A and B are shown apart, each in its own frame.
Chain A
Amino acid sequence: MPARKTQTAILPLPPDELRELYRKMLTIRIFEETVFDVYRKGLMPGLAHLSDGQEATPVGVCAALRLDDTITSTHRGHGHIIAKGGQVEPMMAEVMGKVTGYCRGKGGEMHIADVSLGILGANGIVGGGIGIAAGSAFTAKREGKGRVSVAFFGDGAINQGILYETANIAVLWKLPLIYVCENNQYTEFTNYHKLTSGEGLVARAKAMGMNALEVDGNDVLAVYQAAHEMVEAARKGKGPATLVCQTFRYGGHHVGEPGTAYRSKEEITEWKARDPIPAFEKILLNHKVIAPSDIETMHDQIHTQLQEAVATAQEAPFPEVKEVGEHVYA
Chain B
Amino acid sequence: MSMRELTFAQAIREALDEELARDERIFVLGEDVGAWGGVFRCTEGLFQKYGAERIIDTPLSEEGYIGLAVGAAMTGMHPVPELMFGDFITLAMDQIVNQAAKMRYMTGGQVQVPITIRVTMGGGRSSGGQHSQSWHAWMAHVPGLKVVVPSTPYDAKGLLKTALREPNPVVFFEDKVMYSKIKGPVPEEEYTIPFGKADVKREGKDVSLIAISRMVHPTLAAAEKLAAEGISAEVIDPRTLTPLDEETLIKSVAKTGGAVIIDEGYNHFGTTAELAATIAYGAFDFLDAPIERLGAMDVPIPFSPQLEFATIPDEAAIILAVHRILDGRRR
Instruction: State the A residues within 8 Å of B (CB).
Output: 70, 72, 101-107, 111, 113-116, 120-121, 123-125, 128, 130-140, 142, 149, 161-162, 164-166, 168-169, 172, 326-330
Contact = CB atoms under 8 A, between A and B. Distances in A.
Contacts of A105: 108
A169 B65 contact: yes
A166 B95 CA distance: 13
A121 B70 contact: no
Contacts of A70: 75
B43 to A, nearest CB: 18
B252 to A, nearest CB: 26
Contacts of A326: 109
Interface in B59-111: 59, 61, 63-77, 79, 94-95, 98-99, 103-111
B101 to A, nearest CB: 9
Contact of B167 (A123, A161, A330): A330
Contacts of B112: 330
A161 B98 CA distance: 16
Nearest to B110: A115
- Which of B59, B68, B108 gathers the greatest number of chain A CB atoms within 10 Å? B68
Contact of B74 (A102, A123, A135, A165): A135
Interface centre among A111, A116, A128, A165 (most CB of B within 10 A): A165
B106 A106 contact: yes
B143 interface: yes
B163 to A, nearest CB: 13
26 contacts: A101-B108, A104-B109, A105-B108, A106-B105, A106-B107, A107-B106, A107-B107, A107-B108, A113-B110, A121-B106, A121-B111, A128-B94, A128-B99, A132-B70, A132-B71, A132-B99, A134-B64, A135-B72, A135-B79, A136-B71, A136-B72, A136-B74, A140-B75, A165-B67, A169-B61, A169-B68
Interface size classification for chain B:
35 or more
B34 interface: no
B47 to A, nearest CB: 16
B144 interface: yes
B168 interface: yes
B162 interface: no
B67 A106 contact: no
A115 to B, nearest CB: 5
A149 B143 CA distance: 28
Contacts of A139: 71-72, 75-77
A294 B325 CA distance: 84
A128 B68 CA distance: 11
Interface in B184-214: none
B278 to A, nearest CB: 19
A103 B107 contact: yes
A115 B111 contact: yes
B29 to A, nearest CB: 9
B111 to A, nearest CB: 6
A104 B63 CA distance: 29
Contact of B68 (A102, A107, A113, A166): A166
A123 B111 CA distance: 15
A162 B93 CA distance: 12
